[in-house]
Amino acid sequence: MVFEQIATGGCQSYLVGCAETCAAALIDPEMSQIDRYVALAARDGLRIRYLIDTHTHADHFSATRELARQLSVPVVMHRASPAPFVDMRLGDGEMVVLGRLRLQVIHTPGHTVDSMCLLVEERLFTGDTLLIDATGRTDLPSGDPEALYDSLFHRILRLDPALKVCPAHEYKGRSHSTIAQELASNPRLQKHDRAAFVEMMRSLSLTMPTHITEALRTNMSGGKTVAQLLAEAAATVPFMSLAELKARVEAAEDDLIVLDVRERDAYEGGHIPGARLLPRGQLELRVNKDLPDPTRRILACCELGYISTLAASTLREIGFLHAVALDGGMKAWREVGYPLKVGRDA
Instruction: Name the residues that contact Fe ion, by CB under 5 A.
Output: 128
Q: CA-CA distance, 200 to 50, in Å (whole number)?
A: 36
Which is nearer to Fe ion, 112 or 308 (by Cβ)? 112
Tell the smallest beta-carbon distance from residue 128 to Fe ion (Å).
4
Length of the chain: 346
Element at 316 (helix H, strand E): helix 307-317
Q: Which is nearer to Fe ion, 44 or 139 (CB)?
A: 139
Residue 128 vs 144, nearer CB to Fe ion: 128
- Is 110:149 a contact under the CB 8 Å cutoff? yes
The set of residues, in sequence order, having a beta carbon less than 8 Å from that of 134 and lying 6+ positions away, is 186, 187, 188
Residue number with the shortest CB distance to Fe ion?
128
Shortest reach from residue 200's CB to Fe ion, in Å: 19
The secondary structure element, H or E, covering residue 34 is: helix 34-43
Least separation in angstroms between CB 124 and Fe ion: 16
Cα 330 from Cα 15, distance rounded (Å)? 43
Instruction: State the nearest-atom distance from the C-beta of 156 to Fe ion, in Å.
Output: 15
Q: Smallest distance from the beta carbon of 56 to Fe ion, in angstroms?
A: 8
Question: Residue 169 or 262: which CB sits closer to Fe ion?
Answer: 169
Contacts of 224 (CB under 8 A, 6+ apart): 218, 232
**How far apart (Å, rounded) are the C-alpha atoms in residues 21 and 1?**
10
Residue 98 phi, psi dihedral angles, 5° rounding: -130, 90
Nearer Cβ to Fe ion (209/269): 209
DSSP lists the bridge partners of residue 271 as: 341
The HSE-up count of residue 216 (CA atoms within 13 Å, CB side) is 10
Please list, residue by residue across 83-92, b when 16 or more beta carbons sit within 10 angstroms of its beta carbon and e when fewer do.
bebbeeebee
* 206-211, Cβ contacts within 8 angstroms, sequence gap of 24 or more: 206/137, 206/139, 209/58, 209/59, 209/140, 210/59, 211/59, 211/60, 211/61
Q: How far is the CB of 147 from Fe ion (least distance, A)?
A: 14
Q: Which is closer to Fe ion, CB of 115 or CB of 186?
A: 115
CB of residue 135 to Fe ion, shortest distance in Å? 11
* Phi and psi at residue 25, to the nearest 5°: -125, 145
Distance from the Cα of residue 229 to its chain's centroid:
11
Closer to Fe ion by Cβ: residue 142 or 308: 142
Q: How far is the CB of 139 from Fe ion (least distance, A)?
A: 12
Q: Whose Cβ is closer to Fe ion: residue 128's or residue 170's? A: 128
CB of 13 vs Fe ion, minimal distance in Å: 13
Q: Closer to Fe ion at the Cβ: 12 or 308?
A: 12
